[in-house]
Amino acid sequence: MGEQAGPPSKQVQAVKQVQELIKDGDDAVIVGIFSNEQDSAYELYTEACNTLREDFTFRHSFSSDVAKLLKASPGQIVIVQPEKFRSKYEPASHTLTVKDSTSASEMQEFFQKHSIPLVGHRKPSNDAKRYSKRPMVVVYYGVDFSFDYKKATQFWRSKVLEVAKDFPEYTFAIADEEDYADELKSLGLSESGEEVNAGIMAEGGKKFAMEPDDFDSEVLRDFVVAFKKGKLKPIIKSQPVPKSNKGPVKVVVGKTFDEIVMDTQKDVLIEFYAPWCGHCKKMEPDYLSLGKKYKKEKNLVIAKMDATANDIPNDNYKVEGFPTIYLAPANSKQSPVKFEGGDRTVEGLSNFLEKHATKIQQKDEL
């Protein structure tokens, strides 16, 4: 919590400090220009910065030279992208004039709206704070802004810019293929043989991969247009679909999740397990007995899924530990009921089903 000590914005006095940030920086440069510390706009700015101090580096200046450099007047906040992220498709800076009526939330919205350039550099250190919005188009290659590789990095980035300018509703980013080796693998692109690959991270945890091809802006544009029109199939990590699945506990894999769990005709109790999990192994006999107990219920499915070998293609079914059990009621698949706090026994799970299931025929007899 040491970061929290002191004011949320750092004072800059020299023009050179700001010039260096713009020339060599990696993140948006945010500077508030004020006449002095008593300036009411400065107080409002400080208040707005305080909530977001963990997410941004805020600066302020009372210097007329800094104001001149940023083409700003006292009472204005300027956001400038570092030189390497500039393009002819976007303004070099954004300015907000702080009035007495300007709220902290208006300023915070301004910071967040202009915090990333049209095509920025997504990396592990800024991923959570800058690149959480979806859909996001990511182009992967050897991204390196050091002197020797800058030209090649910008060459490919310029191809992405040509497409990004026409899709303001999506976030676009470049990412180093080594930083995101696992993500590339999950997209099935780590062995593509191409120098440049692309994927789309969409809402609900869905992922889409661009077919490997010689990369240029038209290939990327076609991919984004196909996504926009709903013509792409998401990439889902999945074990093979079981040939026979007639046992008392149905096996669900990534490819059959929607078909089995999201079936609106049936209530589905789904256990997400890991093969190495001791609690899961201990529960297995009870879970099998539960499946047998409700075998005659045509509209109730008892199911399980190895969550280490399959993607769960729905963000409403969050798994943070094993086993995790949800009931997906027939009438509200997007609001599953999580099994929490009860005994993972036939009796405990039966009680949970009796309480939450909507399709059990013989509740009283069971």
If asked whether residues 94 and 58 sit together in one domain, one would say: yes
Distance (Å, rounded) from C-alpha 363 to C-alpha 109? 52
Residue range(s) defining the domain that contains residue 30: 2-113
Q: Count structural domains, the chain.
A: 3
Higher pLDDT, 2 or 327: 327
Q: In this predicted model, which residue has the larger pLDDT, 69 or 362?
A: 69
Q: Is the pLDDT score of 360 beyond 90? A: no
| Cis peptide upstream of residue 135 (ω within 30 degrees of 0) | yes
Q: Are residues 262 and 334 in the same domain?
A: yes
Reported as a pLDDT band with limits 50, 70 and 90, residue 236 is: confident
Q: Are residues 301 and 339 in the same domain?
A: yes
Of the pLDDT bands very low, low, confident and very high (cuts 50, 70, 90), residue 46 is: very high
Of the candidates 55, 26, 211, which has an alpha carbon nearest to the alpha carbon of residue 123?
A: 26
Where does a domain end: 59, 82, 113? 113
Evaluate if residue 154 carries a pLDDT over 70.
yes
Q: Are 212 and 273 found together in one domain?
A: no
Same domain, 7 and 72: yes
When pLDDT is cut at 50, 70 and 90, the band that residue 5 belongs to is: low
- Report the C-alpha gap between 141 and 214 in whole angstroms: 13
Answer yes or no: do 347 and 275 share one domain. yes
Q: For 78-109, give one letter per residue: b (16+ CB within 10 A) or e.
A: bbbbbebbbbeebeebbbbebeeebebeebbe
Query: What average pLDDT does range 186-192 have in this prediction?
Result: 91
- Residues 126 and 95 occupy one common structural domain: no
pLDDT tens digits for 84-136? 999 999 999 999 999 999 999 999 999 999 999 999 999 999 999 999 999 99
Q: Place 6 in a pLDDT band, splitting at 50, 70 and 90.
A: confident
Give the CATH number of the domain where residue 105 resides.
Answer: 3.40.30.10
Which tens digits make up the pLDDT trace of 50-88? 999 999 999 999 999 999 999 999 999 999 999 999 999
Residue 237 lies in a domain: no
Give the pLDDT of residue 359.
83
In a domain, 241, yes or no: no
Q: State residue 140's pLDDT score.
A: 98
**Same domain as 100, residue 157:** no
Give a yes or no: residue 245 inside a domain.
no
Lowest mean pLDDT among 18-22, 95-99, 278-282, 311-315: 311-315
Mean pLDDT, the chain, rounded, equals 94
pLDDT at 204: 78
| pLDDT tops 80 at residue 237 | yes
Is there a single domain that holds both residue 88 and residue 124? no
The answer to whether position 233 is within a domain reads no
Per-residue confidence band for 342, with pLDDT thresholds at 50, 70 and 90: confident
The pair of structure tokens assigned to 188 is: 């099935």
Q: Are residues 108 and 172 in the same domain?
A: no
Q: Nearest to residue 258, comparing CAs of 228, 236, 280?
A: 236
Secondary structure (H, E, C), the chain = CHHHCCCCEEECCCHHHHHHHHHHCCCCEEEEECCCCCCHHHHHHHHHHHHCCCCCCEEEECCHHHHHHCCCCCCEEEEECCHHHCCCCCCCEEEEECCCCCCHHHHHHHHHHCCCCCEEEECCCCHHHHCCCCCEEEEEECCCCCCCCHHHHHHHHHHHHHHHCCCCCCEEEEEECCCCHHHHHHCCCCCCCCCCEEEEECHHHCEEECCCCCCCHHHHHHHHHHHHCCCCCCCCCCCCCCCCCCCCCEECCHHHHHHHCCCCCCEEEEEEECCCCHHHHHHHHHHHHHHHHCCCCCCEEEEEEECCCCCCCCCCCCCCCCCEEEEECCCCCCCCEECCCCCCCHHHHHHHHHHHCCCCCCCCCC
Residue with tokens 């490819």: 255
Residues 27 and 46 in one domain: yes
Q: Are 10 and 81 part of one and the same domain?
A: yes
For residue 363, name the pLDDT band (cuts at 50, 70, 90).
Answer: low
For residue 38, is pLDDT > 90? yes
From 97, 113, 129, give the residue that closes a domain: 113
361 domain residue, yes or no: no
Residue 346 has pLDDT above 90, yes or no: yes
- Confidence at residue 2, expressed as pLDDT on a 0 to 100 scale: 43
Burial class (CB in 10 A: 0-12, 13-18, 19+), 117: buried
**Which pLDDT score, from 0 to 100, does residue 272 have?**
98
In a domain, 175, yes or no: yes
> Does residue 71 lie in a domain region?
yes
Residue 188 placed within a domain: yes
Asked if residues 164 and 118 have their Cβ atoms less than 8 Å apart, the reply is yes
Give dist(CA 310, CA 271) in Å, integer. 13
365 has pLDDT over 80 = no
Is it the case that residue 366 has pLDDT exceeding 90? Answer: no
pLDDT in tens, 302-314: 999 999 999 998 8
